[in-house]
A = this chain, B = another copy of it.
Amino acid sequence: MAVLASADQLASARAARAAYRSGVSEPTSGIAAGLTQANLIAVPADWAFETLLYAQRNPKPCPVLEVIEAGQVESALAPGSDIRTDIGRYRIWRDGELVSEQNDARDAWEEHPDLVAFLIGCSFTFETGLVDAGIPIRHQELGRNVPMYRTNIDCTPAGRLRGEMVVSMRPIPAGRVADAVQISGRTPAVHGAPVHIGDPASLGIADLARPDFGDAPEVRDGEIPVFWACGVTPQAAIMASKPPFAVTHAPGYMFITDVPDAEYIV
């Protein structure tokens, strides 16, 4: 299916990437609405096979939208982009430890010119469908980052890579939960249907008010916490597996592509 972005959408996406390139840093939920956003993980070439295999074995949290090979920095999903600069906030990891957050990662590519970058689907893609169906997205309404949690669900390991699944949570009115399942289920390439509905404790989440990433949620009466597999999962794998070096986006600060969300609807 080839779905074309509108001129307005493309202008918004390019403006956002240009702003991040020039130093602006902001969570991207709701930015360039209707265009797909992506998670980033970049690793040295000798970790690339295991990273791609980890994604292949864990497609719900790690749906691969694109692989930017060593020596290349432009995403085919966003012509003219530069993966080293066009995200609002990067994280630099050494031996599994987060050592720096910065709005430019050119120094990382200078240090490791063989970095292979993986763009992973993002649940923001199906938020458009939820909003279009009249299902409120609380964190967007509040201008906050989506809350994300580490869970007790182990991903399938691949070589040296292992780690638990990270989920994002949206409170959904009980009467719309089934709709939210069906709408997000239509985008299997970007996390698809929820992995869990309604019981944080059984995911090993002790306190919904204290997410591991992003901002605290606001769950109102009559709302059910709904959990989707999250593209921050590779960062949990970095923490657990300790590759010598990695670059990721900061949770919620995504790479904005030129590809319409509708491209990923089956």
Contact = CB atoms under 8 A, between A and B. Distances in A.
Interface of A: 45, 48-49, 52-53, 56-57, 64, 67, 69, 158-159, 188, 266
Contacts of A159: 69
7 contacts: A49-B52, A52-B53, A56-B67, A57-B67, A67-B158, A69-B158, A188-B266
Given A48-B49, A49-B49, A64 B69 contact: no
Nearest to A159: B69
Contact of A64 (B56, B188, B266): B56
Q: Report how many copies the assembly holds.
A: 2
A59 to B, nearest CB: 10
Nearest to A65: B56
Nearest to A64: B56
- Please give me the 10 A-B residue pairs with the lowest Cβ-Cβ distance, nearest first: A49-B49, A52-B52, A48-B49, A53-B67, A56-B64, A52-B53, A49-B52, A69-B159, A52-B56, A56-B67
Contacts of A188: 266
Contacts of A57: 67
A65 to B, nearest CB: 10
Most central of A53, A57, A188 by chain B CB within 10 Å:
A53
A56 B159 CA distance: 18
Nearest to A116: B49
A180 to B, nearest CB: 18
A57 B67 CA distance: 9
Contacts of A67: 53, 56-57, 158
A57 B119 CA distance: 13
A158 B158 CA distance: 21
A243 to B, nearest CB: 15
Nearest to A46: B49
Contacts of A49: 45, 48-49, 52
A117 B105 CA distance: 35
A69 B56 CA distance: 13
